Structure 1
Amino acid sequence: MSNDYPIPAGFLERETEIKKSRFIARVYPVSSRDEVREYVARAHRDFPDARHVCWGYQIGRPGSAAEAAMNDDGEPSGTAGKPILNVIQHKDMGDVLVIVIRYFGGIKLGAGGLVRAYAGAAESVLSEVEREVQQSLSQVQVSLDFADEQPLRHWCEQNQGVVEHIGYGSGVQATVLLPETSTDEFIAFCEARKLDYRLEN
């Protein structure tokens, strides 16, 4: 079974107005709870006078997310974060955060109206954001000589690999992340240059 799944290709913002209330929806690709916190904090900084900053996210594969959470930020329980998360879960998209910022327009929407408004705001941004495929990555530990570092970096640039960490001692220790589809080519590269490698996953 392929581990690939769609994620948002980048940031997008859309605004809707319902009964004079403004709903500003933002979508971000996220891979950690720290990123979620940072983007939520940014929304509070960008809209300091907004009444509510509500959100929902899921990290990992759609349908079996490793982590998911939501926040109503002062709206009646279940009327903001839950509908946002429901829309995310129906979009078959992983590693995604949706934040909906609300400016109250003076007309109460009621619980049902709020659910529809927040779901609609999430829908507006998720239906328009470009998607890309999150490929499963392999992690490889490589021990090499200093002379091999540049060829290693060059190979990674050409093959969607990422040198995530590099350490220097008597030689060079590198941690490389690369798409699972490139693992065999990378092993062949290591063996051709007589590099010690260890596949982590």
Structure 2
Amino acid sequence: MTYQIPSSPVVSETEEKKSRFICWLGPVTDKAAFQHQLGQIRKQYPDASHYCTALVIGNPANPDMMQADDDGEPGGSAGRPMLELLLKQGVGNVGAIVTRYFGGTKLGVGGLMRAYRGSVGAALQAVSLETFVPLQEVSVRCDFAQESRLRFLVARHQGNCGQADYANKVTMSISLPQDQWQSLSELLLAEGFELQG
């Protein structure tokens, strides 16, 4: 279940009837880091009218967490359209913060929805995306004589061997891309390795 994530943050600016919309869009893996980023933006633009947000953590097809905030704009006119666009574009582990400077002309709910969605859309066009491959983590037990074979098989499946515990057998933690797990687990079981969780 791979999905796209931002490689690094971008900032883009759009304008609608003299209102300025400044969108920060970047990688986010937890809510606390996103709140910290929001605090930084509030300091950077202290006199702005609104700071509307959308956040998707995990796979956008089935997020671990998602949220949207209108920050005083009419309900559903800012955060929700921003969030819907991120989900529609299939971007995960992403946060968007749109700072609005009111330009004197009311946009109405429809106009606000278009402006906030457009602001995030402009940032999505500017951002560089990369494919995120979730990792599977497992412990494997084997005889000492099998350790080098285990390391070879894990490396061949683009995985990494972690800490090893040497008791009466070798117990090693491994992590590898989820899409490699099925073929590796079949090989390991066929060769007599013990899989633990």
Scaled by the length of structure 1, the TM-score of the pair is 0.72
Pick which of 175-184 and 89-98 moved more.
175-184
Alpha-carbon distance in 1 for matches of 2:117, 2:51: 14
The answer for the alignment partner of 1:48 in structure 2 is 46
Deviations 1:139-174 (A, max 9, x none): 24699xxxxxxxx9xx99xx67597xx8xxxxxx99
Alpha-carbon distance in 2 for matches of 1:178, 1:48: 44
- Match runs of 1:10-25 below 5 Å: 10-25=8-23
The answer to whether the Cα contact below 8 Å between 2:50 and 2:73 also exists between their aligned partners in 1 is yes
The answer for the alignment partner of 1:149 in structure 2 is none
Other structure's SS at 1:54 match: strand
The answer for the alignment partner of 2:147 in structure 1 is none
Alpha-carbon distance in 2 for matches of 1:32, 1:9: 16
Q: Percent identity?
A: 35
Deviations 1:14-52 (A, max 9, x none): 001111111001111112222221221221122111111
Following superposition, the deviation at residue 127 of structure 1 comes to 2.4
- Match runs of 1:41-190 below 5 Å: 41-140=39-138, 161=160, 177-180=175-178
Seen in structure 2, the aligned counterparts of structure 1 residues 160 and 42 have a Cα distance that, compared at 3 Å, is: farther
Rg larger in structure: 2
Residue ranges of structure 1 left out of the alignment (5+ in a row): 144-151, 167-172, 189-196
Seen in structure 2, the aligned counterparts of structure 1 residues 131 and 199 have a Cα distance that, compared at 3 Å, is: farther
The answer to whether the Cα contact below 8 Å between 1:139 and 1:199 also exists between their aligned partners in 2 is no
1:31 to 29, 32, 42: 29
Aligned length: 186
Letter in 2 for 1:37: Q
Residue ranges of structure 2 left out of the alignment (5+ in a row): 142-150, 164-170, 188-193
Alpha-carbon distance in 2 for matches of 1:18, 1:49: 18
The answer for the alignment partner of 2:168 in structure 1 is none
